[in-house]
Amino acid sequence: MAEVVLEGRGLHFTAGGSPLVHGVSTALARGAVLGIIGPNGAGKSTLVKLLIGQLSPASGGVTLMGRPLPDWPRRERAALIGHLPQHFEPHWDYRVDELLRLGLDRAGRNAPGLEALAGHFGLGAILKRHWSTLSGGERARALAAAVLAPDPPVVLADEPAAALDVGQAASLMARLRRLADGGAAVAVVVHDLNLAARWCDRLLLMESGRAVIEADPAEVLQSPELDRVFATRFQRIPLPDGGMVLAPGESTG
């Protein structure tokens, strides 16, 4: 069994009297990608914030390498966990090359060169542009490059492909997959169910702050719970390799 690196047990979080996460337990293991899926408002982003320590649970707890997350000094925690947030606005209007250098500085002696890093993410032509001038997709790729430059052992990404086109989204998911294949523990919030099925080892389906099912992608995508949670009758189209593609069908909402 793969080594568990980051684990949340019985996590509860309430805001404004409403439970945003209710009794969720999940774990991130070395060499694996966990896809977190569910409709808007399911609690996916809140769960990620609890797992990285940005929010404190009302009950339950998170451990990093077997040690309670709050016991880790912030600097050590930041070195171990790479976080790709859903929304990011730097305090300073950095140029792309400046943002990448911040990530490379954290990578130390194992850092790739700036040009190599930029090339991996298709940023070579915009290195001298400021953050405020970038499109949503350019910002997403620049942030991903900066966060992933040190190859952190734990990566949590909250909808990192939301602003990317189809090719860029697949490229980013493939990079997260390669990080896992290299031994990292990865969790990613994904709206595109087919993208999640292609690149993730397990899927966690959430609804109204609760974990509905966590299993391998084939089991989750075949489950009638998926149709119920998303209020649609999915068309499940088999592929020659034994996989499937989901297409939204009739709404049941």
Per-range mean pLDDT, top range of 72-76, 203-207, 242-246: 203-207
State the CATH class of domain 4-84+153-247. alpha beta
- Token duo for residue 156: 């949590």
Global pTM reads: 0.92
31, 133, 216 from 202: Cα distances, Å: 12, 37, 4
pLDDT band, residue 243 (cuts 50/70/90)? confident
Where do the structural domains in the chain lie, given as residue ranges? 4-84+153-247
pLDDT tens, residue by residue, 77-100: 988 999 999 888 888 999 999 999
Give the integer Cα–Cα distance in Å for 24 and 49: 13
Q: Phi then psi for 232, rounded to 5 degrees? A: -150, 150
Q: What is the pLDDT of residue 110?
A: 65
pLDDT band, residue 1 (cuts 50/70/90)? low
